[in-house]
Amino acid sequence: MATEPSVLLFGSNGQLGWTFRQHLPAERLTVLDRQAADLANPEAIRAAIRTHRPDIILNAAAYTAVDKAQSEPELAHQINAVAPGVMAEEAQALGACLVHFSTDYVFAGEGTQPYKESDATGPLSVYGQTKLAGEQAVQQACARHLIFRTSWVVGEHGGNFMKTMLRLAAERDSLRVVADQYGVPTSARFLVQHSLAAVHHCLQQEAGHQAAPWGVYHLVPAGETTWHAYAQHVIGLAHAQGLPMKAKPEDVHPIRTEDYPLPAPRPKNSRLSTEKFQRAFGISLPAWQPSLPSVKTRTEL
């Protein structure tokens, strides 16, 4: 492998892909959006990888419309399960490594303890089921893989819960937000920085003829919160920065999951243990609050 490995990025226009583009040198990076490589077309994926022959494949693409997936299970399966499997097969054939991102939705969300990588999965939704199938396809086809399960992704680019809450708080006097689902907001910047550090560590281990810790990891910041408390936090930040908000943090009212029914069930416990990641890569993960994007990114909506 060259001293500076070449990178092929799928999903370049999403929250995560956009952030990868800000962190990787352009001369080493080839980006593919939906037009360049249709993830519902396995042959298009194979052709792209065989054309560019990268050292590292980053899969930041996914079918993430959780509720819509309930009525489009075939398309969700094609993008979330089949496509990563194809990438893994091609990576294995090339001798490349594959970095793939998964989700807390692979778990049923029971109990109150953080899930470990070795805990039994039990996805409640089509989205979670297809993401789990994608993990399994990657593990079976490519030896040099890193799969990062994460939760509640929030980026500077694209839509997300944080931007939605800030927009609604600017428009309304009060909000109702679910308060019985627990997890941790994970910034796209956090994911990119720490996943790239993990890749670098694995490649360095191999360069030194040592076993690299490829595998499945949970990657989220330290701490936990609820959607309700998260909304209060970001609205409080907006007020502190003098942004025009009609609703104050105390105007965000807690509700139960049952009070806000959606087509796809959500896990109530999305806590993920990161002990394995921190131990394998020697990285201490920071709290979630400081890594959030600036509340001023709401203007991108």
Question: Inter-axis angle of helices 161-171 and 227-240, to 10 degrees?
Answer: 60
pLDDT of 299 > 60? The answer is no
Supply the CATH number for residue 112's domain: 3.40.50.720
> Does some domain include residue 255?
no
Whole-number pLDDT of residue 1 = 44
**Is 238 part of a structural domain of the chain?**
no
The per-residue pLDDT for 38 is 85
Indicate whether 36 pLDDT > 80.
Answer: no
CB 153 within 8 A of CB 191: yes
Residue 223 neighbours by CB under 8 Å, 6+ apart:
184, 287, 288, 289
In a domain, 66, yes or no: yes
Tell me the average pLDDT across 293-297. Answer: 78
Q: Where does the pLDDT of residue 300 fall: very low under 50, low under 70, confident under 90, or very high at 90 and above?
A: very low
Q: Is residue 212 domain-resident? A: yes
Residues 91-136 have pLDDT tens digits of 999 999 999 999 999 999 999 999 999 999 999 999 999 999 999 9
Q: Largest Cα–Cα distance of the chain, in whole Å? A: 61
- 168-203 pLDDT, tens digit per residue, is 999 999 999 999 999 999 999 999 999 999 999 999
Q: What is the pLDDT of residue 297?
A: 57
Mean predicted confidence (pLDDT) in 219-228: 97
pLDDT in tens, 231-269: 999 999 999 999 999 999 999 999 999 998 899 999 999
Is 130:63 a contact under the CB 8 Å cutoff?
Answer: yes
Q: Whose CA is closest to 106, among 150, 137, 62?
A: 150
pTM (2 d.p.): 0.94
Spell out the alpha helix ranges (H) of 257-297: 275-281
Lowest average pLDDT, out of 94-98, 146-150, 278-282, 296-300, goes to 296-300
Verify whether residue 115 is a known catalytic residue: no
Q: Which of 127, 182, 217, 230 is catalytic?
A: 127
The answer as to whether 231 is a domain residue is no
Has residue 50 been placed in a domain? yes
End-to-end CA distance of the chain: 41
Mean pLDDT of 6-12: 93
Structural domain includes residue 253: no
Q: Check if the beta carbon of residue 128 is closer than 8 Å to that of residue 72.
A: no
pLDDT in tens, 125-144: 999 999 999 999 999 999 99
Distance CA(244)–CA(252), nearest Å, equals 16
The number of helices, as runs of H, and strands, as runs of E, in the chain is 9, 12
Percent of the chain at pLDDT above 90? 85
Question: Does the pLDDT at position 31 exceed 60?
Answer: yes
CA distance 130 to 73: 8
Residue 282 domain boundaries: 7-159+187-221+267-286
> Given the DSSP bridges, would you call strands 182-183 and 175-178 parallel, antiparallel or unpaired?
unpaired
Q: Is 298 a member of any domain?
A: no
pLDDT of residue 157: 84
State how many domains the chain has.
Answer: 1
